[in-house]
Structure 1
Amino acid sequence: MTKSIKINKDTTSSIASGITGASSDIRLSPLASQDGRSTITANKSSKMAYNNVKSVASTFDEVLTVDAQNIRSLGVKFDEFDRDVSTMLHVQAPKLDR
């Protein structure tokens, strides 16, 4: 059985759009209320944890955006390569006299 790579520009674009859509769902809501007067350690720790999660979510969103762009680019590059190979084969194909 022959194995082949099948790349479809529409499919890669659709996958990239899905990734972009998923990354837009990763948004944190701002803290509704903040206690600026409390001396409870948990209060400070929870704010630090929230800021850490916010930073990680932002980085994750950036990485997903880059991945989506790479997937789109892959589809375009394979499409261009396929056309180039097809053109080369067409030009080099022997012409049959009828």
Structure 2
Amino acid sequence: MTIAVLDGDTFDDLAMLLVFALEGSTVTGAGLIATTAAEPRPRAYGWTVRDGWLHPMDTANVQAAVIPCPGSSAVDREVYPAPVLIKPSGMDEESDRG
């Protein structure tokens, strides 16, 4: 079994990119592909950023994003529909939280 864990710097980079994409003033389109390293069948899920939140990506688009390049040693991943992520309340601009 292979377990991949993000180190602190990589996690911070990922968090920064998510905040940048979700903030919405400069990003008009973005995507997030999450993959597992679990063998024998690694999985992939994808979300697009729209309206300041993550929405499940069409599985055909995720499949196109994770297909290994010809001749590469990359692992072929099974693609599954991403779960719907509920936007927490209080995250919109009208929120009275500062």
Name the TM tier (shorter chain).
under 0.3
The higher radius of gyration belongs to: 1
Normalising by the residue count of structure 1, what TM-score does the alignment of the two structures yield? 0.25
- Higher RCO structure, 1 or 2 (CA under 8 Å, sep 6+): 1
Q: Which has the higher helix share?
A: 1
